[in-house]
Structure 1
Amino acid sequence: MQMILFKLNQQYYLISAASVEEVIDTVEITPVPLAPSWVKGLINLRGAVMTVVAFSDLINMPAPKENKNILIMKKDDQRKGLLIEEVIEILNVDSSKIVLNSDSKKKNPDYYSGVVSFPDKVANVIDINKIIF
């Protein structure tokens, strides 16, 4: 399956490319008063206004120094932006390479699907739809 590999604070994450409509460079985000802390604001993407959510806030990680990309996520008729540090690449990942033992499932949140090991890094697999939709 195709997955998008991205980075946050020197850690790597994978999400299914099927849930991503497009990847854009970070644009101006208009803050929304009284919104939850994880909602960074609104963007206008070719005439469509959508909410932008900070991935770091959703998983309780420190915010990176710079967010270079926004993943435009889609589920049914809903679209939201996911603010991330940087997309690294799009990969074909064999689902049998996703490892999750029974102990780690008890300790990790619902959105955590496992890990994939690469020769030079390890990436957490995230079901982003369980977080933002």
Structure 2
Amino acid sequence: MQMILFKMNQQYYLISAASVEEVIDTVRITRVPLAPSWVKGLINLRGTVMTVIGLSELIGVPTSESNHNILIMKKDDERKGLLIEEVVEVVDIDKEDIQLEKTDKEKHYLGIVSLEDKVANVVDVNHLIF
């Protein structure tokens, strides 16, 4: 299966490419007063207003100094942006390569994958953002 490898705060993460509609460069985000800390704000993407969520705040990892990309996530007719530091590449991963370490406490982690020169956490945040 194809997965998007991205980096946040010197750590690598993988997310299923099937849940990502597109990757865009970070655009101006309009803050929303009184929103939860993980809601970064709203963007206008080709005439469609959508919510942008900070992935690092959502899954409880240290935030990055700079965020260069937004993953546009789609489920049915709903779309949301996921603010990340930087997309590295798209990789093919066999399901058997995922070493499961899923716990009930951290439902967004599916496991880890060892790549050639790095280790990446596999995350699934669809159930958290939709």
The TM-score bracket by the shorter chain reads over 0.9
C-alpha distance in 2 between matches for 1:12 and 1:86? 10
Change in CA separation of 1:108 and 1:120 when aligned onto 2, cut-off 3 Å: farther
Q: After superposing the two structures, state which structure 1 stretch, 123-132 or 105-114, moved more.
A: 105-114
- Secondary structure of the equivalent of 2:81? strand
- Secondary structure of the equivalent of 1:6? strand
Q: Contact 2:4 / 2:16 at 8 angstroms: preserved in 1?
A: yes
Indicate the residue corresponding to 1:8 in structure 2: 8
Indicate the residue corresponding to 1:48 in structure 2: 48
Indicate the residue corresponding to 1:17 in structure 2: 17
Of 96, 110, 119, the match for 1:122: 119
Q: Can you give the 5+ residue segments of structure 2 that lack an aligned partner in the other structure?
A: none
Taking only the aligned residue pairs, the percentage that are identical comes to: 69
RMSD after superposition: 1.1
Q: Contact 2:59 / 2:108 at 8 angstroms: preserved in 1?
A: no
Q: Can you give the 5+ residue segments of structure 1 that lack an aligned partner in the other structure?
A: none
> 1:59-111: per-residue Cα shift (whole Å, max 9, x none)?
112210100000000001110000000000001111110011xxx43365111
Q: Contact 1:110 / 1:130 at 8 angstroms: preserved in 2?
A: no
* Moved >6 Å (runs of 4+): none
TM superposition score normalised by structure 2: 0.96
